[in-house]
Chain A
């Protein structure tokens, strides 16, 4: 059974750093496209970042230069290092596995989400 479990969220002051983890089971993280998607309170879904199976990474414009996606193959775990956090980064962060290729990529499994609150 595929499972994704996010940890590492919480309350952080503006300008601070936080690292989210997503422990995967039932499949191999390194063989899939793994993503972070966030949802601000009462708002819609916003894609944050992807790491492809080959290791290439991409980021949304709002987090580029501040967030870093990575994975630990030995732990089958995905990470999101978040630096220079701002109030507008406050959101539930979801880890999601993507399937497909080229322009046909979709998310078939999602974690339960973890809340990150950026506030003084």
Chain B
């Protein structure tokens, strides 16, 4: 079955750039997307089709996907960006796959 791997945690200082990676076999051949989940809340889509932002998502959120790695980048990170982030892809054999999630700490 297809798997996506994320680092368990990433730390960033306010105003700096945070990068969260998601690795999977030939992930660049698929489309990656990213969700933000704050405690007690439902996930929110922040990036789809590798690098597109839904309406209402700040421009500081961006994405890329190449080779075996998709990356979520948050520029000028704010305290409100502290959350869990999940990557997701759709595989022909497994259907939907989520990464294990990354806890972003802004300190």
Q: Which residue of A lies closest to B45 (CB)?
A: A108
Once bound together, how far apart are the Cα atoms of A60 and B1, in whole Å? 10
B91 touches A111 (CB 8 A): no
User: Does A26 sit within 8 A of B, measured CB to CB?
Assistant: no
B101 touches A106 (CB 8 A): no
Give chain B's interface residue range (CB within 8 Å of chain A): 20 to 34
Chain A residues whose CB sits within 8 angstroms of the CB of B58 once the complex forms:
none
Once bound together, how far apart are the Cα atoms of A106 and B88, in whole Å? 8
Chain B residues whose CB sits within 8 angstroms of the CB of A46 once the complex forms:
98
Residues of A in contact, count (CB < 8 Å): 24
User: Does B43 sit within 8 A of A, measured CB to CB?
Assistant: yes
Number of contacts between A and B (CB, 8 Å)? 68
User: Looking at chain A's contact residues, is the secondary structure mostly helix, strand, loop, or mixed?
Assistant: strand
Interface residue ranges of A89-120 to B (CB < 8 Å): 94, 99-100, 102-108, 110-113
Q: Which residue of A lies closest to B50 (CB)?
A: A104
User: Does B42 sit within 8 A of A, measured CB to CB?
Assistant: yes
User: Looking at chain B's contact residues, is the secondary structure mostly helix, strand, loop, or mixed?
Assistant: strand
Once A103-B90, A107-B45, A110-B42 are accepted as A-B contacts, the answer to whether A44 and B98 lie under 8 Å apart by CB is: yes
Once bound together, how far apart are the Cα atoms of A61 and B96, in whole Å? 11
Shortest C-beta distance, A36 to chain B (Å), equals 10
Shortest C-beta distance, A97 to chain B (Å), equals 11
Once bound together, how far apart are the Cα atoms of A32 and B44, in whole Å? 18
Shortest C-beta distance, A85 to chain B (Å), equals 22
User: Does B7 sit within 8 A of A, measured CB to CB?
Assistant: no
A44 touches B45 (CB 8 A): no
User: Does B107 sit within 8 A of A, measured CB to CB?
Assistant: no
User: Does A45 sit within 8 A of B, measured CB to CB?
Assistant: yes
A44 touches B101 (CB 8 A): yes
Closest 4 CB pairs of A and B: A47-B96, A104-B31, A44-B101, A110-B42
Residues of A within 8 A of B (CB): 35, 37, 44-47, 50, 58, 60-61, 94, 99-100, 102-108, 110-113
If A45-B86, A45-B101, A104-B48 are given as contacts, then 14 extra A-B residue pairs at C-beta distance below 8 Å, sorted by A number, are A44-B99, A45-B35, A45-B37, A45-B98, A46-B98, A61-B1, A103-B31, A103-B91, A103-B92, A105-B31, A106-B88, A108-B45, A108-B48, A110-B44
